[in-house]
Amino acid sequence: MLRSNVVAGQDVHERWGGVVPELASRAHQEAIVPVVDAALREAGVTPGDVDVVAFTQGPGLMGALLVGTCFARSFAQARAIPLVAVDHLEAHVLAHFIPDGSDRPVPRFPFLNLTVSGGHTLLIRVNGPLDMVVLGSTRDDAAGEAFDKGAKMLGLPYPGGPLIDELAEDGDPTAFELPRPRMPGLDMSFSGMKTSFQDLLRRLEREQAGTVSERRNDLAASLRSAIVEVLVERCREAAAEFPFQGLAISGGVSANRLLRRRIAQLGKEIGLPVLVPPLAYCTDNAAMVATAGAFLHAAGRHATLDSVPIPRHH
């Protein structure tokens, strides 16, 4: 049962308009002890009550991963308790199973999960908690990165994805046409869409200065519609190709309101239940890592004390 889920934000990146790896790792180093202390206090336990330690091994930024890995190894060694290495992307999928005491439904296996965040965009067939197969992924930029970069082009602060979503609610998604790149199979691409959006903004400003700021809502809505359409269509194609018991989304971009509406609509059209984690579990959080760790621990899949970060999937 979930006892606490403490998250430390990193406002340090806002002034730079994106994540700076060195600053991220420093912020991790400064926050990790206070965050663990706060989590233990909130849960009403002491370090001596902890019987397993789970940590994110990757993928992610090397410096930040190193901070978490070293802390987890030291904690496990000091307490002589098992250590569990968690895959960050699998943890996002398993956020659907966080045991928080609510009566929300959990997916039935096998289900299709769209994992979509600032760094990753994947279509995954989930056969079981520890049995996942990637069916498609982005060939270049992630959908979340396309949202954030598009927001930066519009002069919005980082992270801009949620702001695009907010502005788009009052905009016309058909105001501007953007490409929907088509990749082989179930793969995706967002780099060309991002470039086209930049070209569009430059053209509008050339034709009449101030147009971009005047039509920011329509531009945000057009970008959001294009990105979400690609994601939903790949889900539709995957569901037509493979048998599934459900359709689910996870990761930071699963908080996007249009994506939630379109996925719910797709579920009705193809007759599959749709599952989306609560907003608190969509972005990176400790509860999803702990849940993945619990499945690994139950299966006896423990890590060694010389475990190292794996920043990228091979």
Convert the pLDDT of each residue in 304-314 to its tens digit. Answer: 999 999 998 75
One domain for residues 141 and 234 = yes
One domain for residues 87 and 192 = no
- 309 within a domain of the structure (yes/no): no
One domain for residues 82 and 150 = no
CA distances from 72 to 47, 56, 152, 172, 285 (A): 12, 9, 35, 48, 16
What single letter denotes the amino acid at residue 115?
T
**Boundaries of domain holding 81:** 11-93+283-298
The predicted-structure confidence for 92-140, as pLDDT tens digits, reads as follows 999 999 999 999 999 999 999 999 988 899 999 999 999 999 999 999 9
- 263 within a domain of the structure (yes/no): yes
Q: Residue 281: is its pLDDT beyond 60?
A: yes
One domain for residues 293 and 263 = no
Give me the number of domains the chain comprises: 2
- 271 within a domain of the structure (yes/no): yes
Mean pLDDT, all residues of the chain: 94
Q: Give residue 118's pLDDT.
A: 84
**What are the phi and psi torsion angles at 137 (to 5°)?**
-155, 170
- 236 within a domain of the structure (yes/no): yes
One domain for residues 86 and 226 = no
One domain for residues 272 and 287 = no
One domain for residues 144 and 261 = yes
Are the C-beta atoms of residues 227 and 149 closer than 8 Å to each other? no
- 195 within a domain of the structure (yes/no): yes
pLDDT band, very low/low/confident/very high, at 11 (cuts 50, 70, 90) = low
Structure tokens at 4: 């606490």
- 1 within a domain of the structure (yes/no): no
Mean pLDDT computed over 196-206: 97
Q: What is the 3-state secondary structure (H, E, C) of the chain?
A: CCCCCCCCCCHHHHHHCCCCHHHHHHHHHHHHHHHHHHHHHHHCCCHHHCCCEEEEEECCCHHHHHHHHHHHHHHHHHHCCCEEEEEHHHHHHHHHHCCCCCCCCCCCCCEEEEEECCCCEEEEEEEECCEEEEEEEECCCCHHHHHHHHHHHCCCCCCCHHHHHHHHCCCCCCCCCCCCCCCCCCCECCHHHHHHHHHHHHHHHHHCCCHHHHCHHHHHHHHHHHHHHHHHHHHHHHHHHCCCCCEEEECHHHHCHHHHHHHHHHHHHHCCCEECCCHHHCCCCHHHHHHHHHHHHHCCCCECCCCCCCCCCC
- 87 within a domain of the structure (yes/no): yes
CATH number of the domain that residue 191 is part of = 3.30.420.40
Q: Give residue 23's pLDDT.
A: 79
pLDDT band, very low/low/confident/very high, at 215 (cuts 50, 70, 90) = very high
pTM of the predicted model, to two decimals?
A: 0.93
- 241 within a domain of the structure (yes/no): yes
One domain for residues 197 and 231 = yes
Alpha-carbon gap, residue 312 to 310, rounded angstroms: 6
Q: Give residue 158's pLDDT.
A: 84
Least confident interval from 14-18, 154-158, 263-267: 14-18
> Buried b vs exposed e over 277-303: b needs ≥16 C-beta within 10 Å?
beeebbbbbbbbbbbbbbbbbeeeebb
